[in-house]
Amino acid sequence: MLDFINVVLGLGASVVMPIIIFIIGLVFRMKPAKALISGLTVGVGFIGINLVTGMMSEYLTPIISGLQSKFNIMLDVYDIGWPVSSGIAFSSGILVIALFIILILVNIIMLVLNVTNTLNVDLWNFWNFILGAALAYALSGSFVIGCIVGAVYGAVVLYLSDKHEKVLGEFLGQPGVTITTQSFSLIMYLCMGINWLLDHIPGINKISFSLGSTDEKYEFLTNPILLGFALGLVLSLVCGVDWQNSLKAAIGMGAVMFILPKMVAILIDGIDPVSKAAQDYLSEKFPGRHLNIGMDLAIAIGDKDVITIAMIMIPVTILMAMVLPFNRMLPFMDLPSMPYTMVAPVIASKRNSFRALIIAMVVVALQLYIATDLAPIFTSIAMNSGLIDASSGMVCSLACGGNLIAWIQLKLIQVFQTVF
């Protein structure tokens, strides 16, 4: 059973999600052909997003390396990236099967009891909940506690996701969709709280501009291709990349900013018919009941403001890692995935780029500190998985630092162990 689950999940979101969308479409009485087309469209969207983010990684790697070597950064916890982290999570043996069953049951029970309106179809990103459970298992030595942590993580995400449905629908232009990836729903509250605080600081609350929009006569400056080209070129030259590769990176980043929103639009085109079918079905069976489809954070990363803030935050994140006291995390492999981290700051700031950057720095600082704190236990389970050997030293991932809900539970376990 475990081998089968690992094989299926190993196919990636571009294969797993179309199957799930197809099945859900049939459950909500879509015609098989339409459900299949919706599923395949979602798969195409994921493939497109993966291709573009992979291209982004290719062009950003020399920039990141140049920045690190230029400033002679010496930090002893290496960022291995979310792909390896997900592999570590899915290597957690019987915990994987247990959590899949528990998380699906939790979702069904919460829907039946009307505690949530979100049906989480993003099974691929269950790896975040499983990783939290694996860390708790390693920390406590209790399989049961590990399962409880994973279940609570999933339940909190489902409950909080509904709270952001309206603002997310306005941002995406797609109602009936929520984001159930990692601790996004809790981080959204953190970002909204910081935005509220900035609202009450004289002077700061008057500063407002958006890098994604400007006066009509200067509108060409916010063209995504031109903006990506300029940012790619400036970052490359500042980091000491030669002019040939600087030009390649500039044109490549222009392509990323132009193509990525279109790939996300394809993904949403696939989700829309299923979301409408679900709403129609529930309206008939349960008048007045509303259902949200819980999706991957990828549906929001194609936004121009998100991409722009993410590109600015990549060098800022490296500089923050250097100067923040007590930080030991060296960000690297997860830096190209920065757009995922920037969605909440951009939404919370209502596209005010000044505030988005301030909020983003707080979120990144939190991720760096959480990743640093989790590094010893993370390294332990990473070595047990066989994906990391002892010669790698201390490892974690910047993405792992986004597991805020799991981290809070782990700290509670440590407090309990200290007291008792």
Q: What is the predicted pLDDT for the residue at 52?
A: 75
Buried b (16+ CB within 10 A) or exposed e, 94-129: ebbebbbebbeebbeebbeeeebbbbbbbbbbbbbb
Q: Kindly report the pTM of this predicted structure.
A: 0.78
Q: Rounded mean pLDDT of the chain?
A: 82
- Helix then strand then coil, in percent of the chain rounded to 5, is 75, 5, 20
Q: What is the predicted pLDDT for the residue at 154?
A: 95
The set of residues, in sequence order, having a beta carbon less than 8 Å from that of 243 and lying 6+ positions away, is 237
The string of DSSP letters for 268-293 reads HHHHHHHHHHHHHHHHHHSTT---EE
Q: Domains of the chain: which residue ranges?
A: 2-419
Per the CB < 8 A criterion, the answer to whether 315 and 360 are in contact is: no
Q: Cα–Cα distance between 136 and 152 in angstroms, integer?
A: 12
Which tens digit of pLDDT belongs to each residue from 231-271? 778 778 877 788 888 888 888 878 877 787 777 678 778 87
Question: In the predicted model, is pLDDT for residue 136 greater than 80?
Answer: yes
Q: Cα–Cα distance between 291 and 281 in angstroms, integer?
A: 10
Question: Within a 10 A sphere around the Cβ of 290, how many other Cβ atoms?
Answer: 14
Percent of the chain at pLDDT > 70 equals 87
Q: What is the predicted pLDDT for the residue at 393?
A: 73
* Complete edge-to-edge strand list for the sheet that includes strand 177-179: 118-120, 292-295, 177-179
Q: How confident is the model at residue 67 (pLDDT cuts 50, 70, 90)?
A: low
Q: Cα–Cα distance between 17 and 12 in angstroms, integer?
A: 8
Per the CB < 8 A criterion, the answer to whether 110 and 161 are in contact is: no
Q: How confident is the model at residue 6 (pLDDT cuts 50, 70, 90)?
A: low
Per the CB < 8 A criterion, the answer to whether 270 and 39 are in contact is: yes
Q: How confident is the model at residue 57 (pLDDT cuts 50, 70, 90)?
A: low
Question: In the predicted model, is pLDDT for residue 218 greater than 50?
Answer: no
Per the CB < 8 A criterion, the answer to whether 274 and 26 are in contact is: no
Q: Cα–Cα distance between 364 and 311 in angstroms, integer?
A: 13
Instruction: Give how far Cα 346 sits from Cα of 77, 162, 194, 338, 375, Å.
Output: 28, 19, 12, 12, 28
Question: In the predicted model, is pLDDT for residue 7 greater than 70?
Answer: no
Instruction: Give how far Cα 283 sits from Cα of 42, 169, 257, 277, 289, Å.
Output: 25, 19, 39, 10, 6
The string of DSSP letters for 2-36 reads HHHHHHHHHT-HHHHHHHHHHHHHHHTT--HHHHH
What is the average per-residue pLDDT within 362-368? 96
Short-list 396, 333, 336, CA closest to 367 = 396
Lowest mean pLDDT among 34-48, 52-66, 243-257: 52-66
Pick from 87-96, 310-319, 356-365 the range whose average pLDDT is largest.
Answer: 356-365
Buried b (16+ CB within 10 A) or exposed e, 251-273: bbbbbbbbbbbebbebbbbbbbb
Instruction: Give how far Cα 344 sits from Cα of 127, 192, 291, 391, 404, Å.
Output: 21, 9, 22, 36, 14
What is the average per-residue pLDDT within 285-313? 82
